[in-house]
Amino acid sequence: MERIWAPWRTVYIGKDHGSQCIFCDKLESANDEENHVLLRGDKTFVCLNIYPYNNGHLLIAPKRHVGDITDLDEEESLELFQMTQKMVALLRKAFNPEGFNVGVNLGKIAGAGVPGHFHIHVVPRWGGDTNFMPVIGDVRVISEGLNMTFEKLKEALED
């Protein structure tokens, strides 16, 4: 197979992604739904990863533009971990995953896609959620659109 069709991704292609940090752009905007910002805390916020590894892949970041874990203050560090706990519980409630990958990539060489703004990945996992596609086709198959995932998580937050 030479092509895999994913027309829902056209909204990202050619889009102006802003000249500054993607996290700071989301924070400056009041349109949380459009930006897939799920929750804002005092020091941190949560958004959906628009290029997810799996359905429900969340990013948790400090509101302050800081690139390294060692530059976080005590309040930011505490709220980041508390928000991570809360998002794991939320994902369990909304999607009932069998496990999670929770992690940080520090620095571009370590895989950080946004090395200038520290963030934590929370990726829900299910048995059988990986297959030959990432290995053979270098693509991921995501079974649900971002807007639907966002709505399910917002509903679970309100319950």
d(CA 99, CA 56): 12
Q: Which two tokens stand for residue 75?
A: 């309040």
Half-sphere exposure of 92 (CA within 13 A, CB side): 10
Active site residue 119: yes
**Residue of 51, 55, 52 lying closest to 15 (CA atoms):** 51
Q: List strand residue ranges (DSSP E) for the chain, in order.
A: 37-40, 44-48, 58-62, 99-103, 120-125
Residue 36 in tokens: 């897939």
Q: Do 66 and 56 meet the contact criterion of CB atoms below 8 Å apart?
A: no
Catalytic residue among 36, 117, 119, 121: 119
Separation CA 131–CA 114 (nearest Å): 27
115 in Cβ contact with 124 (< 8 Å)? no
What residues act catalytically?
119
